[in-house]
A and B are shown apart, each in its own frame.
Chain A
Amino acid sequence: MTHLEALPPLAALLIALLVVCGSSLALLGSVGLVRLRSFYQRIHAPTLCYSYGTFLIILASMAMFSLAEARPVLHEFVIGGFMLITPPISLLMLGRAALRRDRDVKLGHDEVVPPHIPASEAPEGAPRDLTRYGAGPSDEG
């Protein structure tokens, strides 16, 4: 482990602190994913991993490689920027899909996604089945 011993002691301690904090926050996000009760609570927990965990570990990696190679190593910013942009998009789409699926179950469609019919071909005044309204799926887990 020559490259770890070659770092300045204070910088090594700082990098160790960043790594430990980041991985602990990622672990905390997964604990929330396991322990929270409904999907709409669960979708909040992994954002700890997405934002804080990634940010701290990327900062540690950037500091370590910059000090080890004695030049600024900034390519971890690519992952940082990517993780800044994509998780809101994917989680937003997942949340909308979950909302739609829950609404379908409440309306009695029961997991079967209706075929995509253009608005011009929709039947006139088709009634919506409301007999099972309020009987949502069991989301306890």
Chain B
Amino acid sequence: MSAGLILQYALSYAQIALILSIAMTCWRMLRGPRAQDRVLAIDTMYINAMLLFLLIGMGNGNVFFFESALVIAILGFVTTVCAAKFLMRGEVIE
């Protein structure tokens, strides 16, 4: 069993673990008793999707997945900040 094969199995395990993690955050987003739980779950889901894109890029040997991961991270931050501001004030831009 070569080291490259072990790395391939590790990447597969990591992708399955992150998909499971996205499923758990999705459960919390659908179930979450109040709005702040849902926003927290969406934020965690964004970060998990970003890590999944990084892992897919590692598996393919493709650098361009990095840029989509960066875009997902920025969109997640903006989404969370806007939702938190809306929950606090009732409006996003004052």
A residues whose Cβ falls under 8 Å from a Cβ of B: 1, 3-10, 12-13, 15-17, 19-20, 22-24, 26-27, 29-31, 33-34, 39, 42-43, 46, 49-50, 53-54, 57-58, 60-61, 64-65, 68, 73, 75-76, 78-79, 82-83, 86-87, 89-91, 93-94, 96-98, 100-101, 113-116, 137-141
Contacts and interface: CB of A to CB of B under 8 A. Distances in A.
A22 B94 contact: no
**From DSSP, what is the main secondary structure of chain B's interface residues?**
helix
Interface in B11-38: 11, 13-15, 17-18, 20-22, 24-25, 27-28, 31-37
6 contacts: A13-B6, A13-B7, A39-B40, A42-B40, A64-B58, A93-B88
Nearest to B69: A79
Contacts, number: 196
B10 A141 contact: no
B6 A79 contact: no
A7 B40 CA distance: 38
- Interface residue range, chain B: 35 or more
B18 A139 contact: no
Contact of A34 (B2, B28, B57): B28
Contact of B14 (A12, A19, A94): A19
Interface of B: 2-4, 6-11, 13-15, 17-18, 20-22, 24-25, 27-28, 31-37, 39-41, 43-44, 47-48, 50-51, 54-55, 57-58, 61, 63, 66, 69-70, 73-74, 77, 80-81, 83-85, 87-91, 94
Given A12-B6, A31-B24, A39 B36 contact: yes
A52 B85 CA distance: 27
A27 B17 contact: yes
Given A19-B14, A54-B51, A61 B36 contact: no
B54 A58 contact: yes
Given A4-B8, A39-B36, A116-B89, A82 B24 contact: no
A93 B32 CA distance: 18
Nearest to A28: B21
A50 B31 CA distance: 22
Contacts of A15: 7, 10
A18 B55 CA distance: 12
